Amino acid sequence: GESVGLHLPTLSVQEGDNSIINCAYSNSASDYFIWYKQESGKGPQFIIDIRSNMDKRQGQRVTVLLNKTVKHLSLQIAATQPGDSAVYFCAEVRETSGSRLTFGEGTQLTVNP
Amino acid sequence: DVKVTQSSRYLVKRTGEKVFLECVQDMDHENMFWYRQDPGLGLRLIYFSYDVKMKEKGDIPEGYSVSREKKERFSLILESASTNQTSMYLCASSFGGQGLYGYTFGSGTRLTVV
């Protein structure tokens, strides 16, 4: 069936290093992808999104890469800071199915000082 | 600042009680969603609504119902709470227009059923 999943449940990095969080999706008809960040005790927050007709999008310290050939999505965080420690979720949507998002299970990012 | 507000951060209820979880958004969003979040299971959709008085079942609707009498308010109801409904409950809303799919989430309600 359709799924959106993350390769690793946990990722530990040193402060200042770059982080890469990966996500695989199975539905080639997905039109739109979003990355969310969830800090402990809070609801998920939107980070960055990308449409399926793009392969890269950059934000402030974050870059999302989309490889449709292998159905893979990644979130790159530059110069990772302690405040980046959180669970990161990818989500996908197919416009023909309305605006309902399908979420992956999440990766726990821990930034070590 | 736009917001999705969930009425309680922490809630403890007894088995068999009827429980109401309230969610209010101030963004005039069309769509509203209720998820539960459990370790190792991610976010699972319980119910959603694309309009006032409209509701649709998500992936795990059993044991739950919802009410959307006003556009800004979406209530989740546990008809008879059970211990397996102990979880973090997240409400979200979205505009619903073409290309506007991003959800805004509330802070969550951690419900414990004893």
**Number of compact structural domains in chain B:** 1
Pairing of strands B10-13, B109-113: parallel
Say if residue B66's pLDDT is above 90: yes
Contact A8, A24 (CB under 8 A): no
Which CATH number covers residue A28?
2.60.40.10
Subunit contact B42:A41, Cβ cutoff 8 A: no
- Confidence class for position A5, pLDDT limits 50, 70, 90: low
Residue pLDDT, tens place only, B11-64: 999 999 999 999 999 989 999 999 999 887 888 999 999 999 999 999 999 999
Domain carrying residue A90 = 4-112
Say yes or no to pLDDT of B2 above 70. no
Residue B90 has pLDDT above 80, yes or no: yes
Q: Which of A20, A106, A30 is nearest to A68 (CA)?
A: A30
Residue B106 CA neighbour count, 13 Å, CB half: 30
- Does the residue B65 lie in any domain? yes
Residue B82 lies in a domain: yes
Q: Which of residues 80-99 of A touch B (CB under 8 A)?
A: 89, 93, 95, 98-99
Rounded to a whole number of angstroms, the distance from the CA of B36 to the nearest CA of chain A is 11
Report which residue type is found at B87.
Answer: S
What is the pairing mode between strands B64-70 and B73-78? Answer: antiparallel
Which residue range is the domain that position B69 belongs to?
Answer: 4-97
CB-closest option in B43, B96, B102 to A103: B43
If one counts the domains in chain A, the total is 1
Contact A105, B41 (CB under 8 A): yes
CATH number at residue B38: 2.60.40.10
Please answer yes or no on whether B105 and A89 come within 8 Å at the CB atom. Answer: no
CB contact under 8 A, A101 and B101: yes
Q: How does DSSP classify residue A60?
A: S
| Sequence-distant (≥ 6) Cβ neighbours of residue A53 within 8 angstroms | none
How high is the pLDDT of residue A2? 46
Q: For the segment A62-92, what is each residue's pLDDT rounded down to a tens digit? A: 999 999 999 999 999 999 999 999 999 999 8
Q: Using an 8 Å CB-CB cutoff, list chain A residues near B43.
A: 44, 89, 103
Of the pLDDT bands very low, low, confident and very high (cuts 50, 70, 90), residue A27 is confident
Q: What share of chain A is helix, strand, coil (3-state, %, to 5)?
A: 5, 55, 40
For the residues A17-37, what does the mean pLDDT come to? 90
Is-contact A80 A17, C-beta < 8 A? yes
Q: Could you give the CA distance from residue A78 to residue B77 in angstroms, rounded to a whole number?
A: 42
- Judging contacts by C-beta atoms under 8 Å, the chain A residues touching residue B94 are 99
Task: Find the CB nearest B31 among A34, A49, A99.
Answer: A99
Please indicate, yes or no, if residue B111 is contained in any of the structural domains: no
Q: B110 pairs with which residues across the strands? A: B10, B88
Select from A6, A30, A100 the residue whose CB has the most chain B CBs within 10 Å, as the one to mutate to test that interface.
A100
pLDDT bin (cut points 50, 70, 90) of residue A98 is: low
Q: How many CB atoms lie within 10 A of CB A112?
A: 11
